[in-house]
Structure formats: C-alpha cells, structure tokens
Structure 1
Amino acid sequence: MAGGAADMNGQASMDVVVIGAGPAGLLAALRAGDLGARTALVTRDEFGGMAAHDGPVPVRTLAQAARLLRDARQLGRYGISVTEPVLDYARLLTRVREVAGDVRDQAALRAQIAAAGVTVHEHAGAARFVDPHTVETQGGLRLRAEKFILCSGGVSRRLPIPGFELTATHSDAWSLTAVPPTMVVVGGGATGAQVASIFTAFGTRVQLFEAGARILPTEDEDVSTAVAESFRQTGMVVREAFGSIERFERTPGGVRMVFSRDGVRDSAEAALVVVAVGWTADTSALNLAAAGVETDPRGFVRVDAHLRTSAQHIFAAGDVTGRMMLVPQALQDGFVAGSNTANTPMITVTDEVSPIGSFTDPEYAQAGLTEAKARQTHDVVVAVVRFDATARTLIDGRTTGFCKLIVDRATRRILGCHVVGERAVDLVQTAAIAIAAGMRVDELARVPLSFPTYTGVLGRAAAIAARQLKVDVDRARLAELL
C-alpha cells in the first residue's frame, strides 16, 4: 500500500491519519483515500474494531445459536423427531471467533482499502497525540499529518459503586468458558436486553434490572411493553424502576447486588453480575489536550454538524462522539468525516433515518419517530398489525409481536415504523428506505410484496393506514387480506 513521505526524523508524513479501524474508521479512511489524500489507518488491535470483535458480529452469532436452540425445540410440531438439543458453549465460542475472523479478513473490504491507497497499521498499540499534528503509538509508530479523524470508539461505562470490580461487562459475558446457572444483568437498554435474552435461551436463570420506568427506554413504549412481557414469559425476571445500587458483595455462590428504593433495602444474587449501563468514549490514551480537542462532560468528543472537533484540523466519527452509537450511523459519520478532510465544500451529517434494532428474542427494531415523539409535532394516524394475524408468522410458529406504522395525516408521509417479532431487524429496513425516500403510505401500500413473507406485515400495515386516511381504498385494501 502507498505510504507517506518520511521527514528527517524518520516519521511518515500523511495528509490524513485515521485512528481506529471500526466501521467509522474504515469508511473514513476509504473515503479520504478515494478523494486522493495520502491516508494512514491506525488501529490499536485488529482490523474491524468493536463491531467485528466485541459488538454486533459476535452478538448476532450468539443470538443465532439461541435461535437454533429455540427452533430445534419446536421441530416436533412439524413432524420431525430429534433428541433434546444440548449447547456446547466452548464450541459455540470457537464459532464466534471464526465468524469474527471471517468478517475481519473480508478480502473485498481489504482490497477496497488497498485500492484507495490507504496505508494500514494493525496492532500498532494505543495512539496518542504528541502535538496537534503528530501521533505516536505504543508500538513505536510515529505519524505526522495535516488532518486527523478520531474513530476510537467507546467502552462500557463504569459505576463509582463499592464492589464494582466484582461485576462483568457485556464483553466478559461473550468470553465466558461456560454458561452460568444464574445471572443478574444491570441495565435494560439494548446491550443489557441482548445479554439477558441470549443467556436465558442458553438456560441461565436471568434477572434483568432497569433503573428507569421501563426497559428499552429509547424505544416506542409499545415496543418496551411487548419485549418485557415476552421476556417474562420465558421465565426471566424483569425489574423496572428498581431503585439505586448501594454496593456489590462477593458471596460463596457469586456476587450479591444490594439496592434500595424509597428507603427499602433489597438484594439479588447470581453467579455472574453483568453491568450494561451505557458507553463512554474510548479516548483515555489519546492525550487529546495536546491536540486541542475538547470533550463534553460525559467524555465524548465535541463535534459540529460537519463532525469537526474544537481543533479545526481534527474530525471525529462514530461512537467516540456519543451521538448515535450504531453501526449504520458510524458508517455515515465515517463517510462525512472522510469527505470533509478534502478541500471541498463540507457536507453535514444527518440522523433523520437511522434504523435501530436488537437481536433479542423476540427481536425489536425501529426507524423514524416513536409515536410519542410524532404526536408532539404531527397529527398522526397509527396502524398496527399483530404478528398472530399474518400468514407467514403462523406458518413459522413465530406469532409474537407486531408492526406499527406512524403516518402524518396531512402529508401521508411515514414518520416511523416499530416492529417486535421474528426478523424485525430486517423488516424495518424496508420501512427505513420508504421513510428516507419520502414515500406516502398509500404508495408503500401499492408496492407488490411476495406472499407469504414477513415484509408483507409492513405492506398490510401500510394498507390499513391508507384506508384510515381514505386514500385509494380499492387498490390499497388488497394487502390487508394477506
């Protein structure tokens, strides 16, 4: 790969240095290289970042194992006789590592990076700024550049609570050598819900604790309610608004969490306590002060609409900014930041349509506004289709869930889509395309969709909304029958 020129001190001189090789860093480096910049991509560990090694890829692989266990247990309903499935967790983790390696080593992606002339420095160690235009790494690499893009990602937030060192993070949960008999999960957001759901499927007795009024607090309220109800039906204990944690204690059987609410003390004990209460930026090693880069009170790098930091020659993208800590958003951030390092008119980042989903069982996903948010600024029509009233879900025996469409009454534009149930994460992508394209709900209702499919649920919801709006009823109503 093409490299930069070296100065008299032996350090390479580049146009752009990208720190971090997760989704944001890869797109940023690729974009900068495509625009002709001499670009270096520096990563502390391996190519792919958290998404490949500690995030969506390993999580989805574990979730797939959970799905296979679930499906194997219903084979008898379809006339297939098998013995009771048994999970070999050690073999599963081997598969997780294999998949992560395959994703990391994708030849096509590496070829694209190479074709853009990007110099990749893997296993370089943590990078730190020496001055505003120079970084060095623990591995001895030293680079000078005109511009930088920070894509160092995020890390699990730690709590200043006595005994916190006795707890585990979601990363620890993915690397266990055996499935624990019991588990307490603190934090009912996306990460905590995934940990709780996956290990419940593996046979662990899980208690999920959420300090707020409901789990999945950023989701549509109907989504939170449906997922919590489904979790409880599997035997999981879900405790919302549980109070505040006082301390963690070691016990002969594991760890005890002591908490209180309204002056009443209580406790929960498990072989493993996993704390998943959010993220903070992974910037501790960067020495941002030397570069003049400011962070907010939560530790995230401050950026403007162009993803420029307080240092005019330094940009930031992805989780390190704390804006929307999602792979699709990181990819968009990387493209915007990489584009803005070029001497061309800057582009801005947008969060208008960011499909969000999680690989719990049942899955949940959203695109656009929640119903509560939409009602604040729009007169809306809401159409809901239950999964137990559609052909494909009945065929597959996956009848838990629903699809909700939120539509502006005046413009007929789709404002939001929320799905709970099988293949929710995939289904909502179609809605995201419709929202991004500015489609009217009656236009979506007229799109021919294969039968029987999960996507047909979305078409049916669109047809119902169109009928509520009394728009082209005769043509849109056909999808209601499927």
Structure 2
Amino acid sequence: MTDVLVIGAGPAGAFAAHRAADLGARTTLVAREEFGGMAANDGPVPVRTLAHAARLVREARQLERYGITADGFGLGYGRLLVRVREVVHDIGTHSALRGRIDGLGVTVHERAGTARFVDPHTIETSRGLRLHGEKIILCTGGVSRPLTVPGAELTRTHSDAWALREVPPSMLVIGAGATGVQVASIFTAFGSRVQLFQVGPRILPSEDEDVSAVMAEAFRERGMVVRERLDAVKSFEKTPDGVRMRFSQDGAPDSAEAALVVVAVGWTADTAGLDLPAAGVQTDERGFVAVDAFQRTSVPHIFAAGDLTGRLMLVPQAAQSGFVAATNAVRGPSLPLWDQVSPIGSFTDPEYAQVGLTETEARREGDVIVATVGLDEATRSIIDDRTTGFCKLIVDRAGHQIVGCHVVGERAVETIQVAAVAMTARMRAEDLARIPLSFPTYAAVVGRAAYIAIRRLDMEAGASQHEPV
C-alpha cells in the first residue's frame, strides 16, 4: 500500500504528489491521460497559444498603419493546431515540476483511464490498474456544465472548440463568463461571425461593472454580436447549415443559427466515474466534493484539491490547495488553506484582469476612493495604437490600502500583477505611487492610478505631499 495516492495529474495533483514525496511519503500519482491535466492539455496552455495567434492576426492588421508593406496574410488553422501541439509537447517535456516529481521517486501512471473507488482505500481504473493508498488525494478537476434542454446534444464545449479542424464560418457562444468570452474573442479574431449570449443583465457578471460594459462595447466594435438579458435558452435543433437555438428575451420568443454552438455556462466537479459513495465521500449542494479548511473530505483519510472542490478554480489556487492537502495527508491536519491575493484575467481582445474587490463590493464594505486612468491617455498604449480600456484602482480612504484593481486593455493580465504584488505586500497607495516604474510600459498605468488616488486624498486632507511619478 502506498502512503499517499493522488488521483489526477493537473496542477492540484502534481503539486500534491510533489509535496507528499518531498515530505518523505511513498507517493503514487495516477493520471487519466497525460501528465499536466486540463491546464497543460486543454486549458491555459493551448488556449494561450491560440490567443497569441489571435494577437498576431490583430497586429498584422496594423502593419500598414506603421508604414510596413505586406502582400496580405491568412490564417492556416491546420498549421496553427500543429503549433499548439508543439507547445503542449514542449511544455510537458520541459516541465520542471515533472522532473522534480520523478527525482523524488513518485510512481507516475499516465493514461491509466478513469479511476473509481472499490473501497475507501482502493481504486481501480478503466484500463485495469488497481491501487491501494493509506491516504488518498482526489484532484480530478472539473468539466463543463451541460444545458439540460431539448437538443442540447447538438452543442459543443470549449474543449470541442479548441479541437476544431477548421475555423467555422459562424458560431453561437452560450454563456459570457470567462470561458465563453475567451472562445468568442479568439474565433472572432480568426474570422468567425460570433454571437455571444448571456442570461442575465451583463457579460462577465463576476467582474467589475465597468469592466463588463467596456468589454461588451469592445466586442461589438470588433464585429461580435453581444446579446444580454436573455430570459432562457429553450432548445436546439439541427438545420441544413448548422444548429438553430430557440430562446426567449423580454418575454418574446426568438432564435439564432450558426454552424457551431458552444455552451460555456459553468463548471462542475468531475466526479462521474469516481463512485464516491463506495468510499463514503460526500458532496455539497452544488455537486462539488465538500472539504474543510485542511482539504479533508467527509472521510478523514481522503482529501480533495483543485476544481473538484468548487473553490476559486484557477491554476495557482489549485496548486496551492494541492500543496495544503498533501501537507495534511502526511503530517495530519496542521496547515489550513490560507487566504491570498488572487489576480484573475483572460486573454481576450481586449484583455481584462482584476484583483481584490470590485467597486460595488468595496463601497459596500467601507469608504473608498476610486481612481481611473484611461488607456487613451497612457503613453505605451498610444504608441501601440491599443487605446481601448482603463485601469481602475480602489483605495481604502482611511488607511490608504489598495483593496482592488481592475484593468481592461492590452497586456491587462500582465499589468494586474503589479497591483497584486502591492496588495500582497500591504503597500499603501502612496508607496506604489513612488515606485519609478519603467517608461513607457503598460504596467506604469497602475502607478499613475495610485498617484491620482493619493492626490485626491491629499486634496481632501488640505495638503499635497506627493510628487508625480
């Protein structure tokens, strides 16, 4: 019997296996398919590669504006997919984490198939592997939540979209959260006629309201049809040229048709094959595996980490929870999952990113000041002719602590890291404003917003002590 048996080799499982072995436990890691899980093979790595191609397409359209003559360009989607596979392979081959796991003596079973519990200490996989573990850590991730309406079998998921052999002439994307807008944005850049649908008042409902508004406007300017405030999706039906969706909006029936329909209405735990009742593991009301602060499930020797638990479902947070689960599996319940500043963003056009509270949340919790800088007044974005967007910094009025930051625009995901580091370090806005960030850069817009916030606070206090940066 192995000391720690880890099921799933995505970020949560990989970090769990590494941590357990590093603490001296005999560790086995079981992957349904390849090492790396969704993040490496169906998530951020291939998606970011496609998003980079979309960026290159956009930049190619700027060549003439900068005096560069080109004889035209086109997208060879088949060649792009070859590049995606190359990137996935290279990252898997050169993964430092995989090398460290092997170096620690972890037994790794790749392409083992779906695992299921036989009893609380034993699992079998669909490809015939049978393993026993004194402690077990579940890291099987999540899957797209399906729509339960007539004809839903005619739709596809984001995974299907990334696996297309050619760019569809038209596409309906149902669900305008992070996954949906990323699919819609990338395929708009590739030339698809995309319609994006959201049940609810605005796209990106978990983002700051100004982010949602600017992103919707930018998408429309790029030729995407954005439809918000749907009442409900009713059904799907096959047509000679694709799929028709029937829905209602403002109480009236309506329909839309495209060659392909992608549903991105949420994410749920991938537990279908695990047979959790055989081990006594309980799920919560949303279907995610219930865990305590130590990542323990309802069965004391079984832990869970990553998307399976329904907590913030991002790669860094999955890795963190895997580390915590493994620590407690080996040492006993001693390390609770800690709160941390968590920057979030997406590689759309334009990009958007956030860290901390939205403006609405911040005003609900306390007295704040909000400073916003438009990218149309920022030097680097003017140079690059990428002036859509803004940086919004939210500062606590009393202590001058930064409580939130939201960025829309070119390199937003990189830019937000500056605010995240400042918040983690508990820097006050004046401390951030004094940092001489390189010029001209996109990141400098965060420092500019901090300076504006402090100037306003000084004016309120009847003094001005901070020089511009």
Aligned counterparts, 1:23-62, within 5 A: 23-62=11-50
Give yes or no for contact 1:181–1:203 (8 Å, CA) kept in 2.
Answer: yes
1:47-85 deviation digits (Å, cap 9, x = unpaired)? 000011111111111110000000011011211111222
Equivalent residue in structure 1 for 2:242, among 237, 244, 254: 254
Give yes or no for contact 2:295–2:324 (8 Å, CA) kept in 1.
Answer: yes
In structure 1, what is the Cα distance between the partners aligned to 2:244 and 2:98?
A: 46
Equivalent residue in structure 2 for 1:214, among 181, 199, 202: 202
Aligned counterparts, 1:305-454, within 5 A: 305-344=293-332, 346-454=334-442
In structure 1, what is the Cα distance between the partners aligned to 2:280 and 2:433?
A: 52
Amino acid at match of 1:306: F
Secondary structure, counterpart of 2:341 in structure 1: coil
1:394-441 deviation digits (Å, cap 9, x = unpaired)? 111111110111111111111011000000001111111111111111
Secondary structure, counterpart of 1:147 in structure 2: strand
Map of 2:69 onto structure 1: 81
1:478 and 2:450 aligned: no
Give yes or no for contact 2:141–2:269 (8 Å, CA) kept in 1.
Answer: yes
Secondary structure, counterpart of 1:301 in structure 2: coil
Give yes or no for contact 1:73–1:84 (8 Å, CA) kept in 2.
Answer: no
Give yes or no for contact 2:230–2:250 (8 Å, CA) kept in 1.
Answer: no
In structure 2, what is the Cα distance between the partners aligned to 1:293 and 1:347?
A: 21
Give the superposed CA RMSD: 1.4
Secondary structure, counterpart of 2:330 in structure 1: coil
In the TM superposition, residue 445 of structure 1 has moved relative to its aligned partner by 0.8
1:168 and 2:182 aligned: no
In the TM superposition, residue 474 of structure 1 has moved relative to its aligned partner by 6.2
1:113 and 2:101 aligned: yes
Secondary structure, counterpart of 1:428 in structure 2: helix
In structure 2, what is the Cα distance between the partners aligned to 1:344 and 1:441?
A: 40
In structure 2, what is the Cα distance between the partners aligned to 1:36 and 1:345?
A: 17
Give yes or no for contact 1:75–1:81 (8 Å, CA) kept in 2.
Answer: yes
Map of 1:301 onto structure 2: 289
Amino acid at match of 1:146: E
In the TM superposition, residue 116 of structure 1 has moved relative to its aligned partner by 2.2
Equivalent residue in structure 1 for 2:214, among 226, 231, 241: 226
Secondary structure, counterpart of 1:341 in structure 2: helix
Distance 1:66 1:472, change over 3 A: farther
In the TM superposition, residue 118 of structure 1 has moved relative to its aligned partner by 1.2
Secondary structure, counterpart of 1:178 in structure 2: coil
Tell me the TM-score normalised to structure 2 length: 0.97
Give yes or no for contact 1:43–1:122 (8 Å, CA) kept in 2.
Answer: yes
Distance 1:303 1:167, change over 3 A: same
In structure 2, what is the Cα distance between the partners aligned to 1:117 and 1:472?
A: 64
Equivalent residue in structure 2 for 1:22, among 7, 10, 19: 10
Secondary structure, counterpart of 1:155 in structure 2: strand
Map of 2:267 onto structure 1: 279
In the TM superposition, residue 292 of structure 1 has moved relative to its aligned partner by 1.0
Amino acid at match of 2:236: F
In structure 1, what is the Cα distance between the partners aligned to 2:174 and 2:220?
A: 16
Secondary structure, counterpart of 1:249 in structure 2: strand
Secondary structure, counterpart of 1:243 in structure 2: strand
In structure 1, what is the Cα distance between the partners aligned to 2:95 and 2:263?
A: 36
Secondary structure, counterpart of 2:49 in structure 1: helix
In structure 2, what is the Cα distance between the partners aligned to 1:432 and 1:72?
A: 32
In structure 1, what is the Cα distance between the partners aligned to 2:35 and 2:55?
A: 28
Identity over aligned pairs, percent: 66
Tell me the TM-score normalised to structure 1 length: 0.95
Question: How many residue pairs are counted as aligned between the two chains?
Answer: 467
Secondary structure, counterpart of 1:143 in structure 2: strand
In structure 2, what is the Cα distance between the partners aligned to 1:317 and 1:459?
A: 36
Equivalent residue in structure 2 for 1:146, among 111, 125, 134: 134
Distance 1:472 1:66, change over 3 A: farther
Give yes or no for contact 1:281–1:320 (8 Å, CA) kept in 2.
Answer: yes
In the TM superposition, residue 343 of structure 1 has moved relative to its aligned partner by 1.9
Distance 1:62 1:158, change over 3 A: same
1:351-378 deviation digits (Å, cap 9, x = unpaired)? 4411110010000000111111111111
In the TM superposition, residue 170 of structure 1 has moved relative to its aligned partner by 0.6
In the TM superposition, residue 139 of structure 1 has moved relative to its aligned partner by 2.1
In structure 1, what is the Cα distance between the partners aligned to 2:467 and 2:257?
A: 53
Map of 1:127 onto structure 2: 115
Secondary structure, counterpart of 1:450 in structure 2: coil
5+ residue gaps, structure 2: none
In the TM superposition, residue 473 of structure 1 has moved relative to its aligned partner by 7.6
Give yes or no for contact 1:170–1:195 (8 Å, CA) kept in 2.
Answer: yes
In the TM superposition, residue 344 of structure 1 has moved relative to its aligned partner by 4.9
In structure 2, what is the Cα distance between the partners aligned to 1:66 and 1:419?
A: 20
In structure 2, what is the Cα distance between the partners aligned to 1:251 and 1:345?
A: 56
In structure 1, what is the Cα distance between the partners aligned to 2:152 and 2:94?
A: 38
Give yes or no for contact 1:464–1:477 (8 Å, CA) kept in 2.
Answer: no
In the TM superposition, residue 268 of structure 1 has moved relative to its aligned partner by 0.3
Amino acid at match of 2:22: D
In structure 1, what is the Cα distance between the partners aligned to 2:38 and 2:339?
A: 22
In structure 2, what is the Cα distance between the partners aligned to 1:100 and 1:35?
A: 30
Amino acid at match of 1:106: H
Amino acid at match of 1:342: V
In the TM superposition, residue 108 of structure 1 has moved relative to its aligned partner by 2.2
In structure 2, what is the Cα distance between the partners aligned to 1:314 and 1:402?
A: 45
In the TM superposition, residue 117 of structure 1 has moved relative to its aligned partner by 2.2
In the TM superposition, residue 475 of structure 1 has moved relative to its aligned partner by 6.4
Equivalent residue in structure 2 for 1:71, among 42, 59, 62: 59
Give yes or no for contact 1:73–1:85 (8 Å, CA) kept in 2.
Answer: no
In structure 1, what is the Cα distance between the partners aligned to 2:388 and 2:60?
A: 18
